[in-house]
Structure 1
Amino acid sequence: MLCHTTLSTGHGSHSAGADNRDLSFDFAKGILIVLVIVGHLLQYVIYRNNDYWYSPYFKSIYMFHMPLFMAISGYLSSRALLRKSLIRSINERAIQLLLPTLFWCAFMETAKVAAFSPSNSITYADILKDFIGSYWFIWAAFASFLVIKVLLTICRRRSMWIIGMSAIAVAILPVTFSILPLIRYTFPFFCLGFLLFQSTEWRARVLPRNKSPLIFSLAALAFACFLVWGKETYAYNNLVLIRDTASAEQVLLMFAGSVAASAIAFETVLPLWKLSSSNRVARFVAVELGQSTLLLYLLQGTVFRLMDLVQFGELWDLSTRISMAGVLGVAIIVIAMTVRWIVRDLGWVSRVVAGTPPRSGPLKPQSVTN
């Protein structure tokens, strides 16, 4: 979701050529950001109550979309983590992620005051809650990048082992304040993506010979987890906290199901891209949506947070709610693409609004992808 530059280097420098870009990762990110929007539409429009926890559609999306997003982020961030200095890499990542997050939070708070609560004052605590809670995945990605970079700087030769151990340690850490459970849930997947980037020999020699049995086993595991997945299996509800045998089972089910479902989803997306890469729709998903996931995430997060303040649709029938969800989903994508087109050549405006530098030339796509 965060940064993606080249096919051969995964996460290269800004000067990396456009011809080296692996659009299959962009295609995967484009599909995932659409699923993020669909998941929120299920929650905020189609159900409008707690029934979404039991929806098979909601469950099938939430089993893998954020874990896979984080794993891709860890994979594509590897070059920056390995090659750039601690200060430089953290500074660049903070500018890329936190600056546009601050902009969209300011936009949201302005909209709240102007349109929804002009007579009510908004406290600093409210703003901080919105800034962190509404865009929790940005903070999870930034925190994961920061932790891995610090571990790489300190541990050096043993850093791969330490990173693997840190994924387990963070996952079982009994801290439930604010968005920390969600960070603890997604951090192991960032580590997994980063470690897979390092395991080139294993992926090239060992995995192909055992791929079919592995995929079959993972598919069976994902299906079994889907069948027993319930409300308490979500990180939002179990807080990734092990208190007793029952909670331990839910946390284990959550991680096992997410790993298996993420792997199957990615193995499904890759051949789909190979078959449809020349199709206009597929290329739109890859080039336009996949290279704008940060902007899309921030925009949809702002929209759905504002929807918490609006009461509507209680008396609508299901078909009306589905229709309205479709209209809203398309509107979010259209607005995001319009914003991207407007700001892409405006220097620091592009960085502040979309987290991307302006295009360096008419034939080159953005070198940093969100």
Structure 2
Amino acid sequence: MLWHNEARGFMLYRATPSTGHGSRAAGPDKRDLSFDFAKGTLIILVIIGHLLQYVIYRGNGYWDSPYFKSIYMFHMPLFMAISGYLSSRALLGKSFARSVKERASQLLLPTLFWWTILEAVKVAVFLPSGSMVGGDFLNDLVGSYWFIWATFASFLVVKGLLAIFRRLSMWIVGISAFAVAVMPVTFSIAPLLRYTYPFFCLGFLLSQSTERQTRLLPRNKLLLMFPLAATACACFLAWSKETYVYNNLALIHDTASAGQVLLMFAGSAAASWIAFEIIAQLWKLSSSNRIARFIAVDLGQSTLLLYLLQGTVFRLMDFVQFGELWDISTKLFVAGMLGVSIVVIALTVCFIVRDFGWLSRIVVGTSPRS
């Protein structure tokens, strides 16, 4: 399956509440740019991770790369946790039908658009050359953009639980995180959903109130940071190829697999927390810096488009043979140019479509900017 070799991260919601992480509110929704900075940083890491996979380490060498491991320990879980946190207003403040309709329109329309671009390029360029056999259209749609589907499914499940259980819904959401994680389902992208869904629930539960966060978290964060940092470092050292969800499928069938799945969840949770705190502190120190604001405003508010574009590009690279004899300097140069090109193309597309309502919704997933 395609998704065994792919890891994509993505953040989706737009308006956010203030959380005290060095926020700079703007507009009537008091948008907290610290979350946009976190999203922008994570999408950069997503692109870097795929450059490591597709350019620097072609083949299977990336599984043992400390750089690849450092990114993949937390970038998907943290993206999903932020998604759950920022989705709370839509989950709680809108009807089931309206919230699901809006989320489907926001996520699935641009996904279908970029999937159409992907298939058109495959048919026009790679099929005639013989480098592509067959269509496999459905696998492209689900596998290449799996995080879109995992995020939408997580939103749908949590919204359904909130609508059904009401007063007990918060407890049920917490229980569902564990239940989904241990479900022995390995069909298609199910393992990836089971891996990321608990982090969506965690982010949502942490968003509910200051009182709830106080009950869940210690008053002095420093008391929590040291054991979390130690846990993240220990998990990093113990992490292996079989710890990745793409290889263990988050499936427990014996003692060894149970250890790997537990290591995966524990390491991801600890690393995600440490990464978010580091990113939040970076924003506090550099929020007035042009580079930081570029990451927050230009990249952080365009992560859906960046995710879809880079997913399309790297899927197409599966059909290209290159770089077998390149030295490391050439690989780094090509990786750098490709990464910059993805960002430039995405920002150019945003600039072109931002004033066209229907086109902006289809291509980018957002309404035109004022």
TM range (shorter): over 0.9
| CA deviation string 1:185-235 (max 9, x = no partner) | 000000000000114214358746331110111000000000000000000
TM-score in terms of structure 1 length: 0.93
CA contact (8 A) 1:113 1:122 kept: no
Residue in 2 aligned with 1:341? 351
1:243-322 matches, cutoff 5 A:
243-322=253-332
Q: Distance in 2 between matches of 1:9 and 1:347?
A: 31
Q: Distance in 2 between matches of 1:208 and 1:279?
A: 32
Q: Distance in 2 between matches of 1:318 and 1:8?
A: 43
Residue identity matched to 2:330: T
TM-score in terms of structure 2 length: 0.93
Residue identity matched to 2:50: H
Residue in 2 aligned with 1:350? 360
1:86-101 matches, cutoff 5 A:
86-101=96-111
Q: Distance in 1 between matches of 2:226 and 2:153?
A: 34
Residue in 2 aligned with 1:241? 251
SS at 1:292 equivalent: helix
Unaligned 5+ runs, structure 1:
11-15, 362-370
The alpha-carbon deviation at position 271 of structure 1 amounts to 1.1
Distance 1:209 1:239, change over 3 A: same
Q: Percent identity?
A: 74
Residue identity matched to 2:155: F
**Residue 61, structure 1, aligned to residue 108, structure 2:** no
Residue in 2 aligned with 1:155? 165
| CA deviation string 1:4-58 (max 9, x = no partner) | 3133499xxxxx9357110000000000000000000000000101010000000
Q: Output the aligned Cα RMSD.
A: 1.7
Residue identity matched to 2:319: L
| CA deviation string 1:74-96 (max 9, x = no partner) | 00000100010111100000000
Pick aligned residue for 1:197 from 183, 188, 207:
207
CA contact (8 A) 1:6 1:18 kept: no
Residue identity matched to 1:178: S
| CA deviation string 1:262-316 (max 9, x = no partner) | 0000000111101100000000000000000000000000000000000000000
Pick aligned residue for 1:140 from 139, 150, 156:
150
Residue identity matched to 2:162: L
Residue in 2 aligned with 1:13? none
Distance 1:251 1:206, change over 3 A: closer
CA contact (8 A) 2:19 2:32 kept: no
The alpha-carbon deviation at position 116 of structure 1 amounts to 1.2
SS at 1:21 equivalent: coil
Residue identity matched to 2:360: S
CA contact (8 A) 2:100 2:156 kept: yes
69-78 or 193-202, larger mean C-alpha shift: 193-202
Q: Distance in 2 between matches of 1:188 and 1:39?
A: 23
Q: How many residues align?
A: 354
CA contact (8 A) 2:15 2:29 kept: no
Residue in 1 aligned with 2:45? 35
**Residue 70, structure 1, aligned to residue 80, structure 2:** yes
CA contact (8 A) 1:6 1:17 kept: no
Residue in 2 aligned with 1:6? 16
CA contact (8 A) 1:112 1:118 kept: no
SS at 1:308 equivalent: helix
Distance 1:215 1:7, change over 3 A: same
Q: Distance in 2 between matches of 1:202 and 1:95?
A: 31
Residue identity matched to 1:336: A
Unaligned 5+ runs, structure 2:
1-10, 21-25
